[in-house]
Structures are given as C-alpha cells and as structure tokens.
Amino acid sequence: MSRIGVFTCHCGENIGATVDCGKVAECSRSIPGVVHSVDYKYMCSDPGQGMIKEAIKEHGLTGVVVAACSPRMHEPTFRNAVAEAGLNPYLCEMANLREHCSWVHEKGEVTTEKAADLVRVMVEKVKHNQPLHPIRVPVTKRALVLGGGIAGIQAALDIADAGHKVVLVEKSPSIGGHMSQLSETFPTLDCSQCILTPRMVEAARHPNITLMTYAELEKLEGFIGNFKATIRRKARKLDEKLCTGCGLCIQKCPQKKIPDEFNEGLGQRTAIYVPFPQAVPNKPVIDTANCTFFKSGKCKVCEKMCPTGAIRYDQEDELVTLDVGALVLATGFKVMRTDKFPEYGYGQDPDILDGLQFERLASASGPTLGVMKRPSDGKEPETVVFLACSGSRDRAKGVPYCSKICCMYTAKHAMLYRHKVHHGKAVVFYMDIRSGGKDYDEFVRRAIEEDDVQYVRGRVSKIHREDGKLVVKGADTLQGGAPVEIRADMVVLATAVQSQDGSEELAQKLHVSYDPYHFFAESHPKLKPVETNTAGIFLAGACQAPRDIPETVAQASGAAAKVAALFARDELTREPVVAVVNRLPAPTFSYCVGCFLCQSACPYQAIEQEEIKGRDGSVLKVVARVNAGLCQGCGTCVATCRTKAIDIQGFSNEQIYAELMTL
Amino acid sequence: MGSHAHAPTAPDTLKARIREHLGVNLNHCYQCGKCSAGCPVAEDMDMTSSRALRLLQLGDPALDRKVMESEGIWLCLTCETCSTRCPQEVEVAKVMDHVRTEALRAGLAHPRSRDILAFHRAFLDSIRVTGRLYEIGLVANYKVRSRHFLKDVALAPKMYLRGKLPLLPHLIKGRDAVGRIFAKTLGKGR
Amino acid sequence: MRIGYYPGCSLLGSSREFDESVRAVMGALGVELVQVPDWNCCGASSAHVLDAALAAALPARILAQAAAAGLDEVLAPCAACYNRLVSAQDSIAKDPRLAKEVEEAVGAPAGRVKVLNVLEVLDRLRPEIQARIQAPYARKVACYYGCLLVRPPRVVKFDRPEDPRSMDLLAAAAGATPVEWPFKTECCGASFSVTRTDLVAKLSGRVLEGAVKAGAEAVLVACPMCQSNLDMRRPEINARLGRDLEIPVLYITQALGLALGLEPEKLGLQRHFVPALARV
C-alpha cells in the first residue's frame, strides 16, 4: 500500500498569490494513498527540504509529490533531499503549479481546482513509480573545438593547458579567423595580428592540440562524454609532411588574379596559396576552381617548382572519425555585405566598403600596406564617411538586433583614418553610441574630442556617385532632421554582424537550438551562457551572438572550464529515463516479436538485437535490447512498438494511463 | 513573472487614431532621420517628417496641433521614399496623408498650403461633376480658388495647339455613381 | 493577347501621346486592348491627400467596372493611376472596415482584377519586340521610373525599389543603350506642377541634369506626370538651372514604337514641347 506525502509550495507570491495553497494541501489529504500533506512558503529552502526529510522518516513515506515550480528548476533539489532521507530519489515527482497554473491563470477557484488536479495526477503517477538508478557512462577525455578563430584558439589552449587532448577543426586553410584580418583593436589600438599570432603558434605547437585546418565536421553521433565525430579533411592537393612552406610554388603560379578572401576582395592571390604570411599552418592549398591544371589539364608549374615533391593533384578528401567527450562550437560570424543595400547602390561602387574591407585597407599587412588608398583609383581619400548601424537595428533588412561591435570599431576606423590622413575629414553617421565596456566610452570621446571626428546623429538615405564623388545624403536629427549632404571620397558601412553561413544546418546536425537569426542558442540566457541544450556541447564567441574580442575570449575560457570540469570525472551519471524492452519468463521471454521497427525508428542507433539462447546454445528468439548509454529517452520506439514491449523508465505506459485516468 | 505594459497612449491623440486607422505604431520610430534624409523636399519644410513623427510620438494634443499647423505636411509629395527606406517599416507617407486629412477637418491647415489645397479641391470638384478630370475646368476652378489668375496663361494655348487640352469635358454615364461615392466618403471622417 | 485597358484622364488630355503610343505599340504587337466600360478618374494625387476612403472608393469603382466586364487583368499605363489602383486594392485588403465602407459607397465589391503597369505588360512581350525591331532607337537613354511605379515596394511589388531594371531592358531591346545613373526613382515634383512650380523646377532639374551628366541623349519615362514636368516645365527648369537643356523626354512606348517602325505622328511625338525627334 502506497504512503504518499504531498508538499505544496507557495513559491512566495508566485504560486501563493494565485492559488489557494492551503486548500490544495487540504484536498490532497483526501486522495487515497496520501498520508501526509502540508503547504509552505518556500519548499526549496533548507527548512522546506527539512520538512520533506522528516516526513519521510516520521510517516514512512513510499513516495513524495512536491507541488511547486517546473521540474527543470528544482527536481534535482527535491530528489536529493528525498535520497538523503533514504528513499529512492525517483520516487519523488513534482507537480508544476507555477508554469502550468499560477503564471498562466487568473486568481480564482477554478485555478485552485486545477492545481489540486495537477497534484492528484502526480500522486497517481508516483504510486506506479519504481526505484531507478542512475546510468553510469565513461567519459572520453578529448575535446573537439569547431572553428579556429580567437574563440576556438582560446578554448583549445585552455582545455589543453588543463591537461586534456583537443582537436581544433578549422574550415579554412589557416587558423586565425576574423581577428587575423583586423588592423588595430579597440580600445587600446594594439595591432591585432601582433597579439593573435603568438596564440596561433602556441596552439599549433601545444602537445595536447591537434590542428585540422581545411576541414569540416561531417557528422556527429553519440552523447555527452561519448561523441563520435566524423571530420572531412578537404584535399589540399599537397602532402603536408613533405611541404616545407618555402613558397616557391606560390611565386610561380601563373594564376595571379583571383580575388583574395583574406583581403576581402581588395587584393589578389594565386591558385596555390596560403591565406596570409603568418598563416598556421604555413602550408598552401590548391584552389581547384581557379587552378589552370584543374580547369584545362595543363600547367603543373607548382609540381615542377616544388623542391620536395609535395604536390598531390590526385589527393582526395579524407573522412576521419574521432571519439570525443565534448564539443566547443566556435564557428564565428560573418558581416552583411554591401550588396544588401539597394539605397547605397547594391554594393556596386568600389569605394563603398564594409568594415572588414576597411580593416584590410588600414592593416599594415593589407593590400596597400596600411596606406590609405581608395580602391577605385588608389587616391588618398580626403573625406571619408562612416555609417554605423548599417543593416543592424533594421527590421526592414531582417536584422532587428544591435550588432554590438560596430559603434566601437567605427570610432576606431575614423580614428585610424585621421591618424593616417592628417588633413582628412572623417564623418560618422550614427543613431546611438553604444560603448559600454572598460575604457570604451573614453575611446569614442577621444575620437570626437581629440581626433576631430565629426559625429552626426542620423541615418543615411542614399549614396550615389556624382562628379567623381560619393554623394552621401543623410540627416541631422539633432537639428530636427535637417538634410545633410556630404561629398565623400570613400564610404565605410559598419554592416551588421550575422550568423555564419551554414549555421542552421550545423545546428541541426548537432541537435543544438538556434535563434531566428541562426545564432546558436545558449541553454539559459543568464545562468548557462556557454552551455547548449545538448549536454556536452558548449559555445564560445560570436556564433552565439555578436561579440567583441574580450567577451569572446572570456566566453571561450568559460566553455573550456566547462569542458575541463566534465573531463575531471572518469564517468558520468545519467538520468535513467531510458527505454527498456520488457523481459518475461520462458517460454515468452518478451512481448517483443523481433520486428525491429523500433530499430529503424530510433534516431540514436540505441537499439540492438539480442539472441535468447537455450541451454544447448541454440537461438530461441531474437528480441530488441536498448543500449542505455546511447538511448536519449525520446520515446519514439515506444510509439512504434506494435506489441507494447517497450517502455520508458519513469514514464511507462502504465504510469501515463494512471495519470490520465485520474482526470 | 514579466510585468505587463498597459498602453499609455491617450485615445484623443493623432498617435492613437493613426494606430487605429492605419495600423501604424508610431512607437516604432526611433528617430534615425532616414525619412528626412531621403525626402526630396525636406530642405524646404518648416518641419521635417522625422521631426513630425517625433512630435506625434509623444501623444500630446498640443504637439499634434503643432504638426497639423505646419507647412511641411503640405509639401509632402507622397513620393514614398521615406516609407520605402524606413528601417523600422513605418509608413511615413500614409501618416502624412492622415495628418493632412485631420488638419483640414480641424481647420488648422497652414495658410501657405492654400494653393495646394485649392488645387486638390478643384481637382476633386472636377471629378465629382463629370466623373473624369476636365483639365480646363480644373485650371479655371483652381484659378478662382487660388486667385492666381495669370499663372501659366502662356501654357494653355501651347497645350491646345499640341492637342493636349480638349475643350469639352468627358461626361461618363456613371456620374451618379461617382457622386454617390463622394457623398458617402469625402469628409465623413471615419 | 487580350487585356483590359484603363487609360485614365491624363491620357485623354495632356498626355494624349502616351495613349496613342501605347495603342500603337500594342496594336503592332497584336495585343487587343479592351477599355474598362464607363471608367472614372482614380482620384490621382488629390483624393488621398484629402480623404482615405474616397481615395480607395474611386479606384474600387473602376475595378468593379472591369470585373463586371469579365476582365482579369487591366493595363493602367499612367503610373499614377496604376499606383492608385494597386494601393486601393492593398488598403481594402488590409482594412476590413474600409472595405465595407468602400463597398457601400461603390455599390459593388472591388473584385480581384490584376492591375498591370505598362512595363509589366511590355516585359511579357520582350521577345516579340526584339523580333520586330526595324529601326533601332540607337541612342544613349536615361530610363526614368519616378516614384509611382516602384513605391511603396511592399504594395506595388514591382521591380527593385532602387535602381530598377525593367525599362532599361526594354530600352535595350529597342536598340538603345541605357546609361547607369542615380536618379531613376527620384521624385520630379509630381502634382506640384501648377501649385509649386518652383519645387518642380528644382526637383525635375536635378533629374534632367543627372541624365545629361550620365551622357544620355534622351530620357525615357512611363509616367505622364514625370513626362509633363520634365517636358512642359522645361522653361522653368532651364531658368532655374541657368542652362539650356534640350534633352527630349519620350515615353518608353514612343521609343519602342519608333524602333518597331511606326509613324512618329501615330506615336504623338509632335505633341512634345521639347522636340523629340530633333536628333533622329
């Protein structure tokens, strides 16, 4: 006979102001099987938990229902308390009176009745609960970091420094990411490459880090502690072991006019190339789409030039499978391109740049070696207009959010321009200046006060070319919206930060949530900022939301700490909410008839075939068996099973029916 | 749980009526000025579109009056550049239309809008009677209304010579139907 | 092809040559134009300034007349008429209360007739046009779309709102070389022609100067208001600019008509203030 205790929580005003908790406790007393029922202001508090523990001992409870908030919030709290009192924790259930009742209904009798019903339902379930035991699974202490920008590099270094193996996968030929393209960084104006390249080299040399550049994640299976990742290593057409990075092949490549991605199209590269001189690894790749040999079957100049015979035209992509225990997603961002601006000429004018292009123009390693020359004719621009919020906070362009970094980098751009062209005029059109951050607002003020950058509060409606100048038509809203027209030599659009291409597909591949703009979603916006909703997969940097470098680095270290904490254990315990195929005495053995529909339905490949053998070793029956390590408890197999041979532990058909029949 | 915001907009304001009749929420305007920046007549206006939106946004009858009394609303050409480029998708030109209608009804139309109004009224008079525009009638009516008797006198003969100015109006059969449309709509103030 | 035709008031008066050239070109391309019976004025740029319901009801009667005549599609060559008809459909669809009021005033529902502008119809006929070119209109042209064909984009849903292309493609089909220029959709001053001629001179002046600067030898238009402002108001424009701009302003249908080998008189070219054929 069940002896159930019901504990109704007021959650302060959260439940108490809407639901008559005393009445719920009173009603619960009359449910058959309930031997104890009380209400209390905060059940999750120490005294509240103490009440539960004492009642278990005093009344010899065989089950506990806590009627309070969502189990997502406090189920572990109450199950721990129950366990401390000597009861199996899975004999404790929660009735959600907050999210499912008080928060969504007005105060009133029916609301209290619904609350009482929710308790009744849970009491019926608990009566059918069985003691369960957590599942233990081993942990593979190797992390996979996706993305080799500053976020991925930092996360990889921190995990590696904690003593764990890391595989750092980067889709382009070199690690470094967007940070390697930047000229100087705000608010200190130190050179981006100067502070980044030591980290890149460190990542490459670290004994615990394996670099896989020019590679992408193909497939991910498994679960926390036990993932199996398939990586596609794209063919460099080169034997990396033989290549010394001497660069002869690059010098002699006849294809020299390919728009250079690293320089954002402002420079040109060869068909066999390294993206930039400090690339890590400093080994070239052949861009087969533009290579003369791959296009016409003739050339092979690089092969002839190579002193070590490292060129491999016949090299194919390679698939590598890795066992890893955790993943850090650090796939970064992209910027909106200028062709998304019809009113500014659909990106057709060479002197209208985006922010990354300006970085390359200002960078000492860029196509102009850091000298201010406008792309159209190489002349020094004497008036440059910078447009903050280009495409950001612009619902008409599909980006209602603030891109966060543009206010700061626009101030930096204007400043860098004024430092390079002393007689030049810099005008910034802005809507608000968002410069929260250490030394950030001081930096913007410096641009205005000391470097004489003219800030105009207003957006620009149109840019067109006239008499060799870019006519920028804006307004000054501090003068009642008076039209302002500036004839500029160059315009820089601080275009919106957007999620990386392919983010949605990647998120689906990894079963990670994402927001409407395809940024990956954190598990909790405040308290779990680096976790995803999939255990064992963590986030770092701008793949989650627009971020600047300090924030990215901090978040990457946070993600690394999470991985290190996970790897500090040799095995993990998992909730035993998994499917089980029932077992019966001979000669039935199981209701399972061995149709294995469940096997094809299971999204986690968790169902195996088990042979039941007689004493003589002959196979009597083949039935399904669930691998508890792989099962995620989704219940798909339960729904498919025609003989009702499968159940989810803790959510068995019997339990669910018992709940429903109560209503 | 989250706090519930109750709309503080006073019902007796242009802001509320614009929301009701046009479905335009003036709170969307964040005063970026892009409408004024692209407006072909902004530099001729005493009050630009973005300034007008700001005053309307405050939901104060005294400020509403200021907007309705401005000359700027009558200079708007309804070219729709503002609505097209507004990052917040506020239909500025429609708002201008609405403000003009109310300004007229309230008798607040700016004195210098007289000619523009005279033209629009003369235009509608012409259609009300014949069903179609009668250009000579329009011009004559406009001249009487605006008292600009000598305006464009040289143009008419040139147009006539080029066959661009028919002397007689086109009378449609459905004149009653058009009259009925005028009677049921114009100035009824929804 | 058979299609409904709503010429609108301007095309019977000050913009007769647009009507003449549309009819001539459509005739040459084998398109039968069926006039909407007993049509009325759409309200043009005046009705919406004074009353939103009137501005929807006048077009609604036209559309009801077209629907009653069994027309599925109606060509409205005048950009202002086109814009008013499409805008009325849009406001009626979005506002049930307005829809009711309009239906009561008109005495019939507005129906579901599709309204087309002249560029949309010509675009469908581009292959035929290309096949029948006899005297290519071989000069540099600035295609000027104005406001009403492309704005507001969420309502008219035609071409790109900035830097549209459809007329340029038609001009190229007629043998012309369209220039790239930045004022394709700037406003000419529209209905202020009579009341604020000063503003029209200023705005139209900008457009014409832009066209000339881009090297155009003619401006092509598809809107009677644009045409008359750029053509009839040339003395005021030139006075303001202090220049003597002689660049002619042709309807796209006139340029196409010439290219198709039609008589200039049938296209109404003699009706322009700025001689349209001076440089032929």
Task: Give one DSSP letter per residue of A183-244, joined into a string.
Answer: SEETTTTEEHHHHHHHHHHHHHH-TTEEEE-SEEEEEEEEETTEEEEEEEE---SB-TTT--
Answer whether A466 sits within 8 Å of C161, measured CB to CB.
no
Please tell me the distance from the alpha carbon of residue C247 to that of residue A546, in angstroms, as a whole number: 51
Please tell me the distance from the alpha carbon of residue A582 to that of residue A130, in angstroms, as a whole number: 14
Phi, psi torsion values for B187, nearest 5 degrees: 70, 10
The two tokens of residue A289 are 């789409």
pLDDT score at B3: 46
Contacts of B37 in chain A (CB under 8 A): 458-462, 473-475, 481, 483-484
Residues whose CB falls within 8 Å of the CB of residue B153, separated by 6 or more in sequence, listed in order? none
The burial class, CB within 10 Å (0-12 / 13-18 / 19+), for C139 is middle
Answer whether C162 sits within 8 Å of A467, measured CB to CB.
no
| CB distance A305 to A249 below 8 Å | yes
Please tell me the distance from the alpha carbon of residue C46 to that of residue C51, in angstroms, as a whole number: 9
The two tokens of residue A257 are 């006019």
Please tell me the distance from the alpha carbon of residue A142 to that of residue A159, in angstroms, as a whole number: 9
Residues whose CB falls within 8 Å of the CB of residue C214, separated by 6 or more in sequence, listed in order? C142, C179, C180, C181
| CB distance B13 to B27 below 8 Å | no
Residues whose CB falls within 8 Å of the CB of residue A548, separated by 6 or more in sequence, listed in order? A186, A404, A405, A408, A437
- Mark which residues 221-280 of A lie under 8 Å from C by CB: none
A474 touches chain B (CB under 8 A): yes
Indicate the DSSP class of residue A471. Answer: E
The two tokens of residue A411 are 């101030």
Which helix (H) or strand (E) segment holds residue A413: the answer is: helix A406-420
Please tell me the distance from the alpha carbon of residue A478 to that of residue B116, in angstroms, as a whole number: 30
Please tell me the distance from the alpha carbon of residue B47 to that of residue B172, in angstroms, as a whole number: 41
Please tell me the distance from the alpha carbon of residue A642 to that of residue A431, in angstroms, as a whole number: 62
Contacts of C160 in chain A (CB under 8 A): 342
Please tell me the distance from the alpha carbon of residue A250 to that of residue C4, in angstroms, as a whole number: 65
- Mark which residues 9-68 of A lie under 8 Å from B by CB: 14
Give the closest-approach CA distance of B102 to chain A in angstroms. 23
Strand order across the A226-233 sheet: A215-223, A226-233, A318-324
| CB distance A220 to A210 below 8 Å | no
Write down the H helix ranges in B23-163: 34-38, 49-57, 61-68, 72-75, 81-85, 92-105, 114-130, 135-146, 155-161
Please tell me the distance from the alpha carbon of residue A420 to that of residue A262, in angstroms, as a whole number: 22
| CB distance A359 to A522 below 8 Å | no
Residue with tokens 């959510």: A651
Phi, psi torsion values for A210, nearest 5 degrees: -105, 120
Q: Which residues of chain A have pLDDT under 50?
A: none
Name the pLDDT band for C23 (thresholds 50, 70, 90).
very high
Instruction: Please name which of A417, A546, A431 lies closest in space to residue A492, comparing C-alpha atoms.
Output: A417
The two tokens of residue C112 are 């579901």
User: Rounded to an integer, what is the distance from CA A367 to the centroid of its chain?
Assistant: 33
The two tokens of residue B85 are 């480029």
3-state SS track over A500-545: CCCHHHHHHHHCCCECCCCCECCCECCCECCECCCCCEEECHHHCC
pLDDT score at B152: 82
Amino acid at C5: Y
- Mark which residues 168-187 of C lie under 8 Å from B by CB: 185-187
pLDDT score at A604: 80
Please tell me the distance from the alpha carbon of residue A642 to that of residue A650, in angstroms, as a whole number: 20
Half-sphere exposure of A105 (CA within 13 A, CB side): 19
pLDDT score at C49: 84
> In the predicted model, what is the mean pLDDT of chain C?
94
B25 touches chain C (CB under 8 A): no
When CB atoms are compared, the residue of C12, C97, C270 closest to B166 is C12
Contacts of B152 in chain C (CB under 8 A): 194, 197
| CB distance C174 to C259 below 8 Å | yes
Please tell me the distance from the alpha carbon of residue A414 to that of residue A456, in angstroms, as a whole number: 13
When CB atoms are compared, the residue of B30, B33, B89 closest to A396 is B89
pLDDT score at C51: 87
Q: What is the pLDDT of residues B47-97, one digit of tens each?
A: 999 999 999 999 999 999 999 999 999 999 999 999 999 999 999 999 999
Bridge partners of residue A65, in order along the sequence:
A6, A93
When CB atoms are compared, the residue of A462, A476, A481 closest to B49 is A481
Contacts of B118 in chain C (CB under 8 A): 195
B83 touches chain C (CB under 8 A): yes
Indicate the DSSP class of residue A547. Answer: -
| CB distance C137 to C38 below 8 Å | no
Which helix (H) or strand (E) segment holds residue A168: the answer is: strand A165-169
The two tokens of residue B105 are 């009804």
| CB distance C54 to C106 below 8 Å | no
Contacts of C200 in chain B (CB under 8 A): none
Please tell me the distance from the alpha carbon of residue B168 to that of residue B158, in angstroms, as a whole number: 17
Answer whether C163 sits within 8 Å of A346, measured CB to CB.
yes
Nearest C-alpha in B relative to C19? B164
The burial class, CB within 10 Å (0-12 / 13-18 / 19+), for C2 is exposed
| CB distance A33 to A62 below 8 Å | no
Note down pLDDT in tens along chain B; length 190 residues. Answer: 444 445 566 789 999 999 988 899 999 999 999 999 999 999 999 999 999 999 999 999 999 999 999 999 999 999 999 999 999 999 999 999 999 989 988 999 999 888 888 888 899 998 998 899 888 888 888 888 888 887 888 888 888 888 888 888 888 998 999 999 999 988 775 5
Buried/exposed code over A421-441 (b: 16+ C-beta within 10 A; e: otherwise): beebbbbbbbbebbbebeebb
| CB distance B152 to B128 below 8 Å | no
- The structure's pTM equals 0.86
The two tokens of residue A8 are 């109704």
Chain B to chain C, count of Cβ pairs less than 8 Å apart?
A: 175
User: Rounded to an integer, what is the distance from CA C196 to the centroid of its chain?
Assistant: 22
pLDDT score at C280: 41
Answer whether A483 sits within 8 Å of B32, measured CB to CB.
no
When CB atoms are compared, the residue of A342, A464, A465 closest to C161 is A342
pLDDT score at B68: 97
Contacts of A345 in chain C (CB under 8 A): 162-163, 182
Q: A472 by DSSP, 3-state: which?
A: strand
The two tokens of residue C133 are 């070119």
pLDDT score at C187: 95
Nearest C-alpha in A relative to C164? A342
A462 touches chain B (CB under 8 A): yes
The rounded radius of gyration (Å) of the Cα atoms in chain A is 31
Q: How do beta strands A482-488 and A469-476 pair?
A: antiparallel
Q: C61 by DSSP, 3-state: which?
A: helix
B119 touches chain C (CB under 8 A): yes
